[in-house]
Structure 1
Amino acid sequence: MANVASPLQYGDPPRLGPYVVQARLHSAPAGFVYLGQGPDGRAVSLAVLTRGAAYDAAARDRFVTAIRDAGGRERSGVRGWLNRPARPRGGGAVLEGAPEVLAYDGGRAPWVAVPYAPGRPGAERFLEPVMVGGTLIGQAHGPDFVPYWLTDRAPALPGPPRPRRPLTETRKRVLIAALAMVLLLLLVVTILLLLLLGRQDSEPQPRQLPPTVFVPTPPPTPETPEPRPSPSQSPSPTESGQSTPGRSPGEDPGDESPL
């Protein structure tokens, strides 16, 4: 059933990474297997987890670990001594019979791409470790259990790629920001200068007094000469002789009382 292709259904991803999804090959409890085509026209087998399994951190980690154990680390250039592939950190055994890994994504919606060969196991080989049961050192031990995420059977779709802004747009924004900063600094300096100059102009300046020129003035000269006593008009006793006692000239005789 793994090599029987069926048309894509609603909710299937149109592409996974650089690979175009063309048809369904297999459906498993942990994910789906698709037939895809690479950029070079090569047919590939693509496996992607279900949305429920992708939301489970443990299930997602088992899927990614199986891919890395099968050669994902060797493709990324990590090698050990004598040019041998480095062993995984977890020390787990390599998945037996796993196909060659062409590419994979271990993000929130992990998937893997392997070469497609009719009649041979493809990417569905990496979905087997996701489903675990009661095992102990490779032997059946304890009861099996059903994962809680089996009811969510939709494929885990990666989010749309975030468009990358061109470099010209970034440089333009940097130049605009730098120009705005320069203008802001110039504005601040201009305001400070205006405040300082305005404060100096508003302070009252002391009024300068005119120079003092002392010119001595002469003392005032009187218009009339010094006053002198004027001579009396009345004759002196020597000139007029004896005068009548009791009455002086100019007196009114009617004021006198009769004797």
Structure 2
Amino acid sequence: MTATDSRTDAPPAGPPSGPPAGPPDGVPARVIPAGLPLQPEDPPRVGDFWLRTRLGANAAGYLYSASDDHGRSAVVAMMTEGSADDAAARDRFVTAVDELPVEAVLAHNDADDDDLALWVALGPIREDDGTSSAADERLIAERRGEEVLSAVLMDRVPQLGRFRGPDFRHHWENRRRPGLFRIWPLPWPAVLRPASRLALALALLTMAIIMALAVLIAWLLFRNAPEVDPGPVIPTVSGTATVTVTPTTPPPNTNSPTPDPSGSPTTFPTPTGSPTTGPVPTGSPGGTDTPGGDPGDRF
């Protein structure tokens, strides 16, 4: 009796045949977003284009998907605050934009705006109708925006010699916030959704009600308050001056009145001598034309 080998030759392991396994039935496939949401530091609008999502970023700038009020889509390339403050980087941005085809540049800001970051809107991009042509146009616009930012960063410049020493790095690479921008007219409330407009209207109405209540409470508290005493009367400046006439020294023992035992009214002695006479000065009190004017009497 001979023993037989029960092992069978297994086929070699290899890639599974057929289409790849997809999600189970009834479970929707995960949708990869076309871009990242905007951050609070991102501008809501540049020029005539409303920014929608972030498509990419590096030390030189950002790529945004955008559209204008007429529904025209575009890809916006905008410099960071660090690269926008470098005159050489701004020149490289302008040169890269000038080298693009004329029909690819939809809009851009003025290169003479030294206090603003440079940006350019690239297109044209047709409405996404599910065809490959619309996707290709968006991809081409994104590639052109990447080329503009790469020209600013100079990361695609070929190496001319051997690598020696430390790697090259721009001094502004750490300043990666979006560059300065200016919006006029203000973007709101045109971009607000109906729910946001309702919230804004309710907030304004609440503020008006609070202000009305504050005015009503103040009126109820102070309506019966006593009137404040009038302040001191400040004399007005006139062209006359009051002159005080001083009598001469009275005789001795005549300073006090002499009581009359008969009950008659008390009489006062009449001072002797004539009153001082002299010219009466005219003009304002304390003026230069008043002799002996006291500076404290001036008003």
What is the TM-score when the length of structure 2 is the normalising length? Answer: 0.40
CA radius of gyration, larger in:
1
Q: Which has the higher contact order (CA 8 A, sep 6+)?
A: 1
Q: Which has the higher helix share?
A: 1
What is the TM-score when the length of structure 1 is the normalising length? Answer: 0.46
